Amino acid sequence: MAKYRKLGRTSDQRKALIRNQVTALLYNGKIVTTEAKAKEIRKVAEGLIAMAVRERDNFEEVTVTAKVPRKDANGKRVKEVVDGKKVTVYDEVEKKIKKDLPSRLHARRQMNKVLYSVTSVPAENAGKKKNTKKIDVATKIFDEIAPKYADRNGGYTRIVKIGQRKGDGALEVLLELV
């Protein structure tokens, strides 16, 4: 007996489908899909959330100095002439960053094996590359999702049955984070 559903796809297609759906679930908080797919997605998503809950406090705050270009009122870089060349002026700024400890870094890399990168596009720039930004879903799991489920022992997702799909009669469900 198989330990997973084949979903009528080859192994690479199935893996891509599950990765895509898990990324969408963790990014958006809920997705609509068929019941069989939802049960497979639930396994992977709950494993990732459980890993994040386990490792949520394994980091240290570190202060680093960074060189940041000075900008004028219009947002353009300030340049000054040095030895006949225009050179950008930099300021040194101290920043606090989170540095992962080894176990959390390993968990982050395990998550990135499953999750796809997400590009956020503002509504007014739909279809354009301007002002798009890459969102790290693993960071979102650690910073937003894991603290919500810190006192919970599993059961991070819920499947709500919607009804049958009009085209093929497949049972559709809403898979959401609790």
Q: Which amino acid is at 144?
A: E
Six-digit token string for 119:
């590009």
Same domain, 50 and 107: yes
pLDDT tens track for 68-114: 999 988 888 999 988 889 999 999 999 999 999 999 999 999 999 99
Which residues are CB-neighbours of 152 under 8 A, at least 6 positions away? 53, 178
Residues 87 and 15 in one domain: no
In a domain, 15, yes or no: yes
Are residues 117 and 157 located together in one domain of the fold?
Answer: yes
pLDDT tens digits, one per residue of 151-176: 999 999 999 999 999 999 999 999 99
Angle at 159 between CA 154 and CA 165, to 5 degrees: 160
Query: Same structural domain for residues 69 and 110?
Result: no
CATH code of the domain containing 170:
3.90.1030.10
Question: How many domains are contained in the chain?
Answer: 2
Domain presence at residue 132: yes
Q: What pTM was estimated for this model as a whole?
A: 0.84
> Does any domain span residue 17?
yes
Q: pLDDT digit string (tens) for 19-36?
A: 999 999 999 999 999 999
90: containing domain: 59-99
- How many CB atoms sit inside 10 A of residue 45's CB? 25
Query: Could you tell me which of 38, 18, 22 has the C-alpha nearest to residue 140?
Result: 22
Mean pLDDT of 36-50: 96
Is 176 within 8 Å of 157 (Cβ atoms)?
yes
The reply to whether 48 and 74 lie within a common domain is: no
- Cα-atom radius of gyration of the chain, to the nearest Å? 22
Same domain, 26 and 44: yes
Q: How confident is the model at residue 11, as a pLDDT?
A: 95
User: Is 122 a domain residue?
Assistant: yes
- For residue 175, the tally of other CB atoms under 10 A from its CB is 25
The 8-class DSSP code of residue 144 comes to I
